[in-house]
Structure formats: structure tokens, C-alpha cells
Structure 1
């Protein structure tokens, strides 16, 4: 920003305009003195005649009318989707079939805070330290593997959607327990393979990895490293045998889930967009929709971490064959 006494800032414009209007200088003489064009000298002199000293300040470049501005009803719909689903502009734009730049302009106009500045539980703005991000250069360089325990939904529905009174009544009739979601997420492309299984034993985790490796092989991804936490199933000899000698096994630092951040972010997306996105009246009804949602995640959902591409599109950048089924 230039200082207040520089030429042709409000103070300099006022001096130029007074030389022309009050002292009778010609536009050419004033322009030579203040090192500008005659047209510029005339512009500020004319403004001084009409508005005086106040007219020397910069005026807003916003047009008086914007006939092509988005309708107020559609603006409110953008804000509603942002507020209720906490989506970024890329997802709102895809959902409402609008240009991303239009959605971003509406969010700025309404002063909506960035998603990274919101607390996920309350939705209130918070200040957070900026996290360091990393990404491996090619598919298969690192696969994040993890298990998420997800409370089963009792028949009739659970307390998250129906309230504590009804949900607890359904729980008492049959008990609930947990489903175990085993994940494998490619660090570079975010391509995910996942299954809902009954436990987290070493036999189950090892068999899951065999199917996950085959899935990545179908996409011509050669796995080089696998990153897991320090769970007992991953420390077992059986899991080491499933990995084989050609895949390096790395473990996260204890009590540091951020190290396995790609799969933790997948878990959060799963919670928001599938597990609790709608009301399910049984655990079987929710499980029946999982593979369909997983296909949507891999093939159709844009991901901000990979420049709004889908995981399948990211694989195409590396000229890898894509399986669409």
C-alpha cells in the first residue's frame, strides 16, 4: 500500500483538482506537474467540482445493477447445504449443478467460515494450527489400512435419529454390538477398498488384506508399503505373512492417529455421508447401501485433497487402466 502523501492518492488528487479549479491551471499544465495524463487531470477536476474534497476518495467498483446475479432463493439453498451438510464449494457446486466460482462467491458474500475453521461437533468457528500435509508420488507407494468400529443399528432405528428414549428401547430388545469396517486407502489417489466384517481378529484382517491387494492389482496398482496402527491383528505373524516380503510394513506412532491421516479422513467422510447421513431402521438396511456408497466415493465424489478429482480420475493421470464396475 502506498503512503498517504504519494502522487494521486486522495491528498495528491485534491492538490491537482484545486490547481485546475481554483488556481486556473490548464489540464496539460496540471498533468505535467503531477505526472499523469490530461484525461486523468480532467477526471479529478470534474469530480472536485461536483463532490468537493470527499469525491477524491476511491469509489466502489461494484455495479449499480447485477441482472445476472444468482437468485436469492438459490443463494439461500447454497447456504442451507453448507450449514446442514458442511460441504465445501466443490461438493455444493456438483450437487446443485452450479459453477464452483459462483458457489465460492456466494459463501464469501455471506461471510461463511472455511470448513477447516469449524468444529465438527458444534459447527462453531475455531482457530486451529495449520497441519502439515504429505502425499506420496505414485499409486501404491503407500496404502493406509485401518479398522473402524461402528455401532450396529437395532431393528426399528437407533438413538441418533429417533432420540434416546426410542433408541434405548430398541437396544434393550436385542442388544447392539459393533460392525467392523476394514479399510485400505491408497495415499496418492485416495482409492478405497473396504468391507464390513464381524471382528478384528488377525485371521480376518489378514484375509481382508488379501482381497484388498487383489482389488488394487485389478487397477494395476503395485503396493510397495502398508501403514497400520499397532493393533494386535497387525502385529501378528499371520498379517506379516499376508503382506509378504515385497511389501514393507510401517506402523504409526502410538497414540498418534494423525500419522494415518488419509484413512482417518476417510472414516470422517464415511460417518458424515453414509453411516449417519440418513435414517436407517436396521443395521442390514444400512449395510446394504455400503458398496453403492463406496462406488460413489471412488468414481463420482470430487475430493479437495486431489484438486477436486475423483480417485478414479487421479489414477487416469498415471495412465493406469480403470475398472468401472
Structure 2
């Protein structure tokens, strides 16, 4: 691929023609619309060197001395700290080195990427085995659709998924406020056929509000939140949101009522679908096995699912395919 500067006035073919031409520099400059200095430059290089050269300096000035760079590299090898932590430590005795300077030092020494053996952080591991009742909650925006009153607007999808059985419950709400999150929590507690003991959420404003914390305590549910910038902690529900995006939201729909019907059928199908992570068992089957082994985890009264949810959703999918 040719390396030509985006503001270049000539091409390699024109430059080669300039280098071979015996005409005066002023004539060539007028013909090609460039200065005489440009003509002399390409004549000096010759027809074999007509590409733009890199403007990067051959030697970059260092903000740190050789001894200071050696200290930073030794500290990185000894501790294995990430860049931000290393910069925080270095700034105490080398205050003129900022984060960019430390990164340049590490990159020049080949230490900008640590091997797994050098890392001091614990490696990511799978979820530990929990009993039924540890539920992941999340909220994700839905596309703009027509509401019952004929107004086109966005709504939000709330998801609850049990960590042990992958049993899910979905609901569509008007917004991502604390009142909607509390309403969904109460709906999930009524619909899930087991006692919810813990809920895990991200640090969204609807889940960190005092009202939501109060609702969790009122129902005897322990509320946990993920650490900042660690979405992998709540990855189970995040991956389920991706599944909803692929399998539900890819279907052409015209109203939120159709979407709610389709989501209800999708929930029933998902809970009855065999999954590889559950050793080819469905969430329904795993849940029955868990509750049979520990009956104290089951709820005496549970809101039964709609038996017509899946047939209605299949009819809507067939109609969408015809369209």
C-alpha cells in the first residue's frame, strides 16, 4: 500500500517524472503547482525514492533520566503493579513523571504488557456454586416503539436471572427510575418459584437509590452491587441481554404491546430450553431438582406463568416472517 501524506500535492508517479525531467525547476514547479524547493527535493532523492518518509523523530526526548527509567522498570518487575498503581507509587518520589511518561518507559523496555506469571491480581474464575435464590438484576434500554396510547417512545427491559438454575423473569417498564426498579423487584419476588435471598446489581442510579435498598430490606433480601468498571461480575445477565438482542429485538415489531407478548413467550421458551452450561438440562428441570433436594427454598405460593405466552409469541413470529 502506498504511503502518501494526506496533504501531498504530488503522487509517486509525478515525483518520478520530476526526478527524470531535464527541464528547469521553475518550469516544473509551474506545471505541477508546487514550489521550486519541492522540485529540488524530489530531484535530489531520485526516481527510486518517491514515497513520503515518516515524520517521526529518530530519537525522542526523555522526561526521565536513565537511572529513573531503570527504577521504574525494576519496580514494575518486582511488584507487577498495573500502570495506574505504578504511577501512583512513582509520583511520590519522582513527581515529574506522569502516567504517560511511565507508560513510555514501560513500553520502551517491553514491560507494558505483563505476562500472567508476573501479575499480582487473582485470575478471573467461574462463579462459585450457590444455592437457588442468588438473583442477578439488570436493566437495558429498548428501541423506540409505539405505545398503547399511540405515542412512540423508549422503554426499558428489566431482567432477573437466578445464578444456580439460570431461571429468568423479564418485565418492561417505562423508565430506569428507582420506582420502576422496585416494582420489578416485587414482581420478580412474586413470580419466581423460590425464595430470593440475594440480588446482585450494577451501580445504576435506579439500583443504588435509598428507596431500592429499603425495598430489599423490607423483603428480607440482601442487596449486593458490583465493583466499579467490572461488568464481568454481572456477566450472566449481560450475556442474557445479548441473547435478547439477537433473538427478540431482531424481529420486526411495531408496538410495545407486541414486544411484551414476544418477551413473555421468549421467557417461557428460555426456561424450558436445554443449555450446555447446565449439562444439557433446562432451567426448569434444574430448578425442580434443586427444590426437590431442598424444599425449604421453595415458596408456598407462586404466581403461575401464562400457559398461552409461548403460543402467542410463536404466532407473532410467524406473522413477522410473512411481513
Taking structure 2 as the reference length, the TM-score comes to 0.49
Q: Which has the larger radius of gyration?
A: 2
The two structures have a TM-score, normalised by structure 1, of: 0.48
